[in-house]
């Protein structure tokens, strides 16, 4: 009896491993500060010395290799991304959706209501696309009134109007609250932590 149970267990595990398909499109790996490109690092160096919870990453995707630093600066979480040529790609500033009362909020809510029968905002970030005329890093924390290009990245758990099952989505709105991009966020299951 015991042998049968062990055999069944091993069989089920092996069966499930068979026929895996590679679904990965982006790989993110932790790197040390020394591995972070020096030229890019120099642009954030003054800020880094005053920051906490610093983490450096290398992102490999179909678009190429990007470098990202995540940190906590003056009580706010930021994510600063550079391309492989050390050019600043964007800065994301984590904000609480409930605390955000900017002009674009109502426009974003109207669009969310039109797309989804129910939704819950899980994460909200102000995303700034750099402008050559301004030193974005020295302008932190990012302000609603800043004139250069900005977007809002909203991660939600929601049910589309023509569907019944909740899913995770990542939405990108422009400064005026117009929806630019909507994509499924492939969040991994956390069943392993619940059962």
Partner 1 sequence: MKRITVFISLLFVLIILTPKVWSQSVPFFAEPALSLSKSLKGRWSANSKLVFRQQLASLENRQLDWVSQSDVIEVQLFVNYRLLGSKRLTIGYLYGLDEPFLSSAQTEHRLMQQFSFESGNRFKWVNRIRLEQRIGENQFRNRLRYRFTFDEPLSGDKIDAKEWYFVAGDEWLYTFTGVPGEDHLENRLHAGLGYMFANGQKLQIEMQYRLMRIAGARQSSAWHLLLTYNLKL
Q: Which of 84, 93, 80 is nearest to 43 (CA)?
A: 80
Q: How far apart are CA 82 and CA 84, in angstroms?
A: 7
Please report the sign of the dihedral spanned by the C-alpha atoms of residue 144, residue 146, residue 69, residue 49. Answer: negative
The binding track of 93-132 with respect to partner 1, each residue x by CB under 8 A or -, is: -x-----------------------xxx-x----------
Contact 166, 152 (CB under 8 A): no
- Which residue, 21 or 34, is less far from partner 1 as judged by CB? 21
193 binding partner 1? (CB under 8 A): yes
Q: How far apart are CA 45 and CA 38, in angstroms?
A: 10
Shortest spacing between CB 120 and partner 1, in angstroms: 4
Stated length of the chain: 195
End-to-end CA distance of the chain: 26
5 binding partner 1? (CB under 8 A): yes
55 binding partner 1? (CB under 8 A): yes
164 binding partner 1? (CB under 8 A): yes
Q: Which stretch binds partner 1 (CB under 8 A): 13-21, 38-46, 84-92, 137-145?
A: 13-21
Contacting residue, 51, 54, 66, 70, with partner 1 by CB under 8 A: 70
- For 157, the enclosing helix (H) or strand (E) is strand 150-160
DSSP 179-194: EEEEEE--PPP-HHHH
| DSSP structural state of residue 165 | S
Shortest spacing between CB 63 and partner 1, in angstroms: 16
9 binding partner 1? (CB under 8 A): yes
User: What are the residues binding partner 1 (CB under 8 A)?
Assistant: 1-2, 5-6, 9, 12-13, 16-17, 20-24, 26-30, 55, 57, 70, 77, 94, 118-120, 122, 157-159, 164-166, 188-195
């Amino acid at each position: 009896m015991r042998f049968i149970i062990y055999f069944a267990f091993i069989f089920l595990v092996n069966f499930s491993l068979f026929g895996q398909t590679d679904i990965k499109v982006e790989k993110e790996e932790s790197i040390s500060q020394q591995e972070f490109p020096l030229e890019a690092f120099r642009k954030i160096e003054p800020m880094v010395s005053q920051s906490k919870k610093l983490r450096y990453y290398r992102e490999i995707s179909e678009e190429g290799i990007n470098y990202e630093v995540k940190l906590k600066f003056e009580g706010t979480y930021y994510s600063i991304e550079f391309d492989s040529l050390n050019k600043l790609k964007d800065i994301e500033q984590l904000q609480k959706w409930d605390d955000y009362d900017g002009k674009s909020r109502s426009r974003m809510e109207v669009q969310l209501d039109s797309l989804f029968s129910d939704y819950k905002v899980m994460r909200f970030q102000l995303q700034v696309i750099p402008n050559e005329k301004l030193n974005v890093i020295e302008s932190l924390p990012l302000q609603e009134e800043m004139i250069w290009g900005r977007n809002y990245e909203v991660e939600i758990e929601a049910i589309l109007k023509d569907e019944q099952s909740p899913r995770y989505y990542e939405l990108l709105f422009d400064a005026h609250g117009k929806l630019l991009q909507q994509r499924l966020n492939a969040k991994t299951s956390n069943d392993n932590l619940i059962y």
